[in-house]
Structures are given as structure tokens and as C-alpha cells.
Amino acid sequence: MKPYEDDLSDIERALEHVFKSDANPGGFVVLATDEEEVLGAAVIHYTPWGGYVPENLLLFIAVRPEYRGQGLGRTLIEEALANCDGDMKLHVEHNNPAKRLYERVGFTSKYAEMRYER
């Protein structure tokens, strides 16, 4: 996911939340595989809201570098959208080339995200 990768500890915390329990999952993961090799993945987090903050958040999407540009990212996103209830949002940096993919799938830029970081 370079140069846009998230910190490994953030990814681990997100996966722990998504898989918190079988009875009460916090989301789901879509995998693209070739036999037993993982080629790409999308991690979706369920939110307790709807409307202003959509019901689903696409936390992470990654495709192995040698498989990029072959439609795998789009397939992962479309599969994620097909398997969730409600709307979905994501965060993407303005200069990330993946932003064009998200727009082609149907995501639109609704708000500017602003943060105060300590």
C-alpha cells in the first residue's frame, strides 16, 4: 500500500475490532485469492450509525503490487458493497491514485476531512 500505508498497529487494531466475535462481528473482510495465495483484501467496519456517518466504513484496501491495474481493487470494492447493508464511506488522500478508482465505482467527495492532532 506504499506510500499510503497505514501503521501496522492500526491495521491490527482494526482487524481485532472487525473480528471481535462471531456473534457480534464489527465488520468483514473480502479476500482475493489465487489458490492459497492472498492477492488483495478489503476491510469493512460496521458503524453504529447511518446518514451523516454511513453504516459502513471501508477501512483498508490493498492489492499486491504485481496484481495492481488488473481490476482486482475494483472487484474487491464491488464485492464489499454487495455484501453490506447501507451506505459506505472511505478516507483517501487527495493525491492517492486510488481516488480515481473510488470515483469510477461511484464514491463521491462529500466533505473535507479536518483533524486536530496532538
Residue 2 in this model has a pLDDT that exceeds 60 = no
How far is residue 38 from each of residues 33, 35, 64, measured CA to CA in Å? 4, 8, 8
* Percent of the chain's residues with pLDDT above 70: 93
Question: Cα(116)–Cα(118) distance, rounded to whole angstroms?
Answer: 7
* Mean pLDDT value across residues 49-53: 86
> Which three three-digit cell numbers place residue 103?
470515483
Residue 5 in this model has a pLDDT that exceeds 70 = no
Q: Is residue 37 part of a domain?
A: yes
Q: Which residue has the higher pLDDT, 36 or 102?
A: 102
* Mean pLDDT value across residues 25-53: 91
Tell me the CATH number at 44: 3.40.630.30
Q: Which residue has the higher pLDDT, 77 or 114?
A: 77
> Which three three-digit cell numbers place residue 67?
496484481
Residue 35 in this model has a pLDDT that exceeds 80 = yes
Domain that holds residue 58: 8-105
Q: What is the pLDDT of residue 14?
A: 84
Domain count, the chain: 1
Q: Is residue 52 part of a domain?
A: yes
Question: In 3D, which of 66, 64, 1, 56 has the Cα closest to residue 29?
Answer: 56
Residue 32 host element (H or E)? strand 27-34
Write the Ramachandran bin of 27: left for phi over 0, alpha for psi from -120 to 50, otherwise beta: left
- The model's pTM is 0.85
3-state secondary structure at position 70: coil
